Structure 1
Amino acid sequence: MKNKWKALPLLGLLLITMTLEAQQSYFIDGYHGGVYGHYPKGYTRFIVKQLQKHSNWKINLEIEPETWDKERIEDPLYYNAFAEIIQDSISRIEYVNPSYAQSYLFNCSAESTIRQFSIGLEKVREHFPDVLFHTYSSEEPCFTAALPAILISFGVKYASSKNPNTCWGGYTTAFGNQNFIVWKAADGSEVLCVPRYESEKLEKKSTWQTNAWRHSKEYVRDAFKSGVKYPIGMCLQDAGWRGGPWLKMSGHYMPVEFTLWSDYFKKYEPTTQLQEWRMSQEDIRVSLVWGAQVLQKIAQRVRYIENLLPQSEKIATMAHLWKGLNWDYWKFREAWRGLLLSQHHDCWIVPYNGGKGETWADKVRDWTSVSENYGNKIINSSAHSFCDNVIGTDGVLIFNTLGYPRKEIVTVSHPKTHKEYTFDAEVPAMGYTIYLWEEIINQSQNIKGGMISEKNGKYVIDTEKYCVVINPRCGGAIESLKVKYLGNKEFIDKSSPYFFNTLRGYFAEQKKFISSSSTMARVTILVDNPFKAKVQIDSKIAGQPYSQILSFTKDGDLIDCELHINWESNVQIGKETIGEFKAENPVKAFYNDKYKLHLLFPSIVNGGILDKNAPLDVCRSREEDTFFNSWDEIKHNIILNWVDNIDETAQNGISLFSDHTTSYLHGKNYPLGLTVQYSGIGLWGRNYKIAEPTIVHYAILPHSGDWRSADVPQHNIRWNEPLLTLNVSNVQKASASLFEFSQQGYEIMACYIDKDNTCLRIANTGIGNKIAELRIRGNYEDLRWVELDGRSTKVVKLGDEIQLTIPSFGFKTLYIKNLCVK
């Protein structure tokens, strides 16, 4: 009798297991890759034949759109068969990522993400006109917190934050144990989302998978137990794999049904209220080989073009509207193509892959060179269109591509004498001013004095806003940074053992940390006048020569800095790899940024609070520090454009701007820092080497209050889109403006011509009021707010102004039909 009662719990457990095993589950299968990533010859034929062979199989696609250009030529028979299947009303194929080049998204601008999808969809529909975009999903961690805002404008209702089988670069935070959650962006936009469940574990003995990749029994049973009624696994196979339907390995959960993402959402779309996920950018836990020179150069090239192309479009729009210059659609298309391809995730995670001269890094150099060439040609031809006055003279044309008037110090070089002149320039909002050389030279004749003095071997830069002391004995460190308009408040943490604006890192050859503050520096005054001051600091770190150039203007808020390191050899910098590199070992040397060469900015005592920007978002860090050593402990430590370190008690802070996406350092016991150089073993055991000089452009902004009260986004936009000066001939003094915002907190993301429409994309940077006004200086036929998928709504007018109702971090696109300007 005792044995019988003992058997009952075992019987109950068996019944529960059998019940769980009988419950239906689902699986997302499909393919990921393309003509640039991986898509071998004959692969469309393989896919079509597999679909014909397996009648219950459905596939979700993340294939680079340019792939179909090649397939149409190389395999027209099966290209047409594929086109028929994907456009069938009862399709077994869904395009879940039609972006042009499968960008990571978190590392690029919001405008880039919009172009990834708009140009990508255009190319896909060039081949398959009836393809719809209902659901976003990716095999890689190609996410950004504000993605719902962009997806909703494209008419996309669904998304998934899973990437179970390709987590080499990272993964998203596990969230919720429901079939669906509501993924909410900072502007309030929402999409229905299948998350990485809280029960979805990182795979053991792997550094690239969660246990959803093979639909394991453990994964599905844990999901059921935690409250997920219809668990779904996922693997978008690499295009090139020849196994056909996934789940052929033993041990996966049954019963399981292959499904399309949109079918799954529609079948189980909930009617009750769901858990809301306000995704933080820190929920995207990705770590690439930050600081590696090859990745740094890629990130810098991408950022440069990301700044250049929108600015060239804005300037070309001015030239088109004011001077009738033709709109070079195909030049812009090719320029954007080069940028979008350079944002391909493989460029960033496997930059060395490919043959000689054909690596991803080589391709980025080629692609961005094309973009740069077109962008600069467009700017020059736009400037030339203003040279139409037969009785004019020589001058300087200055463009302002922001929606606010600007008064700033500019430096220009005379076209004949090449002598430099510095002066105060005023340019209206989204417009231009022409200064004649005669008046520029006259203004400069009576300039006397400067801002730099030398006291006790130290250099003092005295501007209207700051008093900065540079100490050559400490490697040229900024020893003191006092802000005059805050009562000469000191912004250097004097209690810190580290020095402000100095280099520090672990050098393997010396087997120790070395700081530039331990060496003597030479300070050279490059420019010193009442408008501008510039100094160069020369020194060495671990025997390697470097220089820093610091620039100040008389009333400027930013301290602009440039670092040059002229490496004499490939020096190993960073934590050393112990023993043989193994991919499945979660501990990797390149994860710990404290060992990499980095710049330090000790300002806020005890670490303070850190905010950082992301595309259409600003995120407050939840981490105590940015340091980790293992794949399963990845922390978000990425600087996109800026980070802001504040002291809530003292109500002041310091912002750090970077010229490229990389990692930053910060912690309670470690000051704010910027990663500069890593040289050592990276992903897949590749040796990431130093092969050329390192050049990094960054800036420092001391301020009162937090990022909102200091309007850090606007300062950063001005830094990325400086006043653009061009020498011109046959001109007269002139000035004009196209558009102007009524208040701060708004950004012109893009301005371009589409047939007879002038298109203006406007974003609320997070500090703007929900309601503001835009002034259009010209006449027009019609105004519409147009979504990215073409849906439109009316525009509210208030006299000569347009009412903007854009929520914080939101964006809208205004179409102005037949705009005629004076």
Structure 2
Amino acid sequence: MKKTMTRRAFLEASAAGGAGAIFGAPLAFRAKSAVPAQVRQTPVAAGGLCLTICNHWSYIGIGWQLGIESCVLSATDAMEMADRPPHVKTCLNLDARAYEFMAEKFPEVTERLKKYLADGKIELIGGTYGQPMGTTISGESNIRQIVMGREVIRRALGYSMATFLEEEEFTHPQIPQLASLAGFQYASLAQLDTWGRAGCPRQDLNALWWKGIDGTAIPCVPKNALFGYSPDLKKLAASDDFRKLAALGKPLIFAWEEFGWESPEQPAYLTAPAKYAALEQVEFVTLKEYLDKYGAQMKETVYVPMDGWNKSLTWGLGGDQVRILDRKIDGLLLAAELFDGIAAALGYASQAENMGKAWRDLLASQSHDVGLCEYSRWQGDRMAPYDRSKTSTISPGARSVITTWMPPKNRARPSSMPR
């Protein structure tokens, strides 16, 4: 029986001795890449193109407002589109909590999804517990998000995650090592720039070896010119960039979508397939399938240092309250685990179950929707207009700073204001 990856086994394997150094200097240990043999052996077919559709949604955050039913709708869109011409394949990117909760409340949908996963019509990608912005949380939380999320999905769906890719920001130089040690075979740098800009560099390649800070290399789909959010597929297929990438092997058009916003009475699967049918000589693939089939075209190994990303995250939003409290609770839970281990060794009852629940709550609070949207209820203006704030609650010093440095329509609502 295959042993489940736990945080303890993860740290022992990586010789990290504590995850606090996750963004620091290279570790002495060099993790081996978990690379299927067919990646190096399958020849690249000439002509045509591949298309992958990556559907991002979540329960933590947006699902709190729209309900777990929105996650059911998003997953149903993917399944129905697989059954309807032109029979596209979808990479589904939900947080692990969504799959877990869906299995509890909608077991019939979960059982149906298992069949599509087994048939290769849908692939689950990402796999973190709460879809956080990876470079804004601690090294410890990076590990817990990946390892715990992957395990929650395995328990809910009996499915082993293969490709690490979140739509929201979760890329940094140690991802190849973390993903490989957690059991992922593949990764991708094709992250979408949302309010929290991922800033992944463009690589004019169809596929590459993404090398981590410790030397680990993992097969990877980069962000190239054939990429976008609900892009004009025919325009991309007719572009000069497409022809250049076709000369290197089998091009992959990468389309992010967000199915789940629509009304249940007018689901996306009734209209979305038409735009995918417009392409000619197209092979619909998941990311895993693409790298399984056409990984032989990987010739280059690419290391991206931290400065290689052009990230623009939510620094300062809401006074960084969420981020500051996150680090405090992270440290508190680590200390509590150490104390509990000593207490249990002395014969006291362990509180591991309660701390496990506390970690899950913390991982949920790290959701990108919490960090990006907590103070962004006014959408286009990103922050509450200053004139909606009760200035009597703002200290004179804070009022002076806000008035001096922020344009009137973008002045922030102080954290003490009612929500």
Following superposition, the deviation at residue 228 of structure 1 comes to 4.0
Q: Distance in 2 between matches of 1:58 and 1:151?
A: 23
Deviations 1:347-377 (A, max 9, x none): 111113679xxxxx9xxxxxxxxxxxxxxxx
C-alpha spacing 1:298/1:263, structure 2 compared with 1 (3 Å)? same
C-alpha spacing 1:134/1:47, structure 2 compared with 1 (3 Å)? closer
Q: Does 1:255 align with 2:275?
A: no
Query: Given that residues 201 and 310 in structure 2 are in contact (C-alpha distance below 8 angstroms), is that contact kept between their aligned partners in structure 1?
Result: no
Which residue of the partner structure matches residue 405 of structure 2? 574
Q: Does 1:174 align with 2:194?
A: no
Q: Distance in 2 between matches of 1:573 and 1:316?
A: 49
Q: Does 1:230 align with 2:250?
A: yes
- Within the candidate set 190, 204, 207, 1:162 is matched to 190
Which residue of the partner structure matches residue 175 of structure 2? 147
Q: Distance in 2 between matches of 1:112 and 1:137?
A: 17
Query: Given that residues 77 and 268 in structure 2 are in contact (C-alpha distance below 8 angstroms), is that contact kept between their aligned partners in structure 1?
Result: no
CA RMSD of aligned residues (A): 3.4
C-alpha spacing 1:289/1:114, structure 2 compared with 1 (3 Å)? closer
Which residue of the partner structure matches residue 126 of structure 2? 97
Q: Distance in 1 between matches of 2:201 and 2:149?
A: 29
Q: Distance in 2 between matches of 1:119 and 1:326?
A: 23
Number of residue pairs matched by the alignment: 345
Following superposition, the deviation at residue 246 of structure 1 comes to 4.8
Following superposition, the deviation at residue 317 of structure 1 comes to 1.8
Aligned residue type for 1:119: M
Q: Distance in 1 between matches of 2:95 and 2:153?
A: 9
Between Structure 1 and Structure 2, the one with more helix by share is 2
The percent of aligned pairs where both chains have the same amino acid is: 20
Aligned residue type for 2:80: K
Which residue of the partner structure matches residue 194 of structure 1? 221
Secondary structure at 1:270 match in 2: helix
C-alpha spacing 1:346/1:281, structure 2 compared with 1 (3 Å)? same
- Within the candidate set 40, 55, 59, 2:90 is matched to 59
Which residue of the partner structure matches residue 539 of structure 1? none
Task: List gaps (5 residues or longer) in structure 2.
Answer: 1-45, 387-394
Q: Distance in 2 between matches of 1:191 and 1:57?
A: 26
Q: Decide which moves more: 133-142 or 228-237.
A: 228-237
Following superposition, the deviation at residue 141 of structure 1 comes to 2.6
Which residue of the partner structure matches residue 365 of structure 2? 342
Which residue of the partner structure matches residue 102 of structure 2? 71
C-alpha spacing 1:250/1:175, structure 2 compared with 1 (3 Å)? closer
Secondary structure at 2:292 match in 1: helix
Secondary structure at 1:346 match in 2: helix
Following superposition, the deviation at residue 336 of structure 1 comes to 0.6
Deviations 1:131-168 (A, max 9, x none): 1221112222321221001011022231111124x533
Secondary structure at 2:268 match in 1: coil
Q: Distance in 2 between matches of 1:267 and 1:161?
A: 19
User: Which of the pair has the greater relative contact order for Cα pairs under 8 Å at 6+ separation?
Assistant: 2
Q: Distance in 2 between matches of 1:286 and 1:252?
A: 34
- Within the candidate set 320, 335, 338, 2:344 is matched to 320
Deviating beyond 6 angstroms after TM superposition, the runs of 4 or more aligned structure 1 residues are none
Secondary structure at 1:81 match in 2: helix
C-alpha spacing 1:216/1:162, structure 2 compared with 1 (3 Å)? farther
C-alpha spacing 1:46/1:185, structure 2 compared with 1 (3 Å)? closer
Q: Distance in 2 between matches of 1:185 and 1:141?
A: 17
Which residue of the partner structure matches residue 558 of structure 1? none
After TM superposition, the structure 1 = structure 2 runs for residues 415-430 of structure 1, keeping only pairs within 5 Å, are: none
Task: List gaps (5 residues or longer) in structure 1.
Answer: 1-21, 202-209, 356-360, 362-507, 509-542, 546-566, 578-679, 682-686, 694-822
TM-score by length of 1: 0.38
Q: Does 1:217 align with 2:235?
A: yes
Secondary structure at 2:187 match in 1: strand
Following superposition, the deviation at residue 311 of structure 1 comes to 2.1
- Within the candidate set 109, 115, 129, 2:144 is matched to 115
Q: Distance in 1 between matches of 2:167 and 2:273?
A: 16
C-alpha spacing 1:345/1:284, structure 2 compared with 1 (3 Å)? farther
Query: Given that residues 60 and 260 in structure 1 are in contact (C-alpha distance below 8 angstroms), is that contact kept between their aligned partners in structure 2?
Result: yes
Between Structure 1 and Structure 2, the one with more strand by share is 1
Query: Given that residues 206 and 221 in structure 2 are in contact (C-alpha distance below 8 angstroms), is that contact kept between their aligned partners in structure 1?
Result: yes
Secondary structure at 2:336 match in 1: helix
Deviations 1:730-778 (A, max 9, x none): xxxxxxxxxxxxxxxxxxxxxxxxxxxxxxxxxxxxxxxxxxxxxxxxx
Secondary structure at 1:66 match in 2: helix
Query: Given that residues 136 and 159 in structure 1 are in contact (C-alpha distance below 8 angstroms), is that contact kept between their aligned partners in structure 2?
Result: yes
Q: Distance in 2 between matches of 1:180 and 1:325?
A: 53
Q: Distance in 2 between matches of 1:215 and 1:296?
A: 39
Deviations 1:521-553 (A, max 9, x none): xxxxxxxxxxxxxxxxxxxxxx934xxxxxxxx
Which residue of the partner structure matches residue 280 of structure 1? 305
Secondary structure at 2:405 match in 1: coil
Secondary structure at 1:187 match in 2: coil
C-alpha spacing 1:80/1:353, structure 2 compared with 1 (3 Å)? farther
Secondary structure at 2:135 match in 1: coil
Aligned residue type for 1:176: Q
Q: Distance in 1 between matches of 2:91 and 2:53?
A: 6
After TM superposition, the structure 1 = structure 2 runs for residues 570-649 of structure 1, keeping only pairs within 5 Å, are: 571-576=402-407
Query: Given that residues 140 and 167 in structure 1 are in contact (C-alpha distance below 8 angstroms), is that contact kept between their aligned partners in structure 2?
Result: yes
C-alpha spacing 1:181/1:139, structure 2 compared with 1 (3 Å)? same
Q: Distance in 2 between matches of 1:264 and 1:63?
A: 21
Following superposition, the deviation at residue 234 of structure 1 comes to 2.3
Name the larger-Rg structure. 1
Following superposition, the deviation at residue 324 of structure 1 comes to 2.3
Secondary structure at 2:136 match in 1: coil
Q: Distance in 2 between matches of 1:218 and 1:47?
A: 23
Q: Distance in 2 between matches of 1:141 and 1:214?
A: 24
Aligned residue type for 2:223: R
Secondary structure at 1:193 match in 2: strand
Q: Distance in 2 between matches of 1:175 and 1:32?
A: 21
Q: Distance in 1 between matches of 2:366 and 2:177?
A: 20
Query: Given that residues 217 and 251 in structure 1 are in contact (C-alpha distance below 8 angstroms), is that contact kept between their aligned partners in structure 2?
Result: no
Aligned residue type for 2:306: Q
- Within the candidate set 379, 388, 396, 1:544 is matched to 396
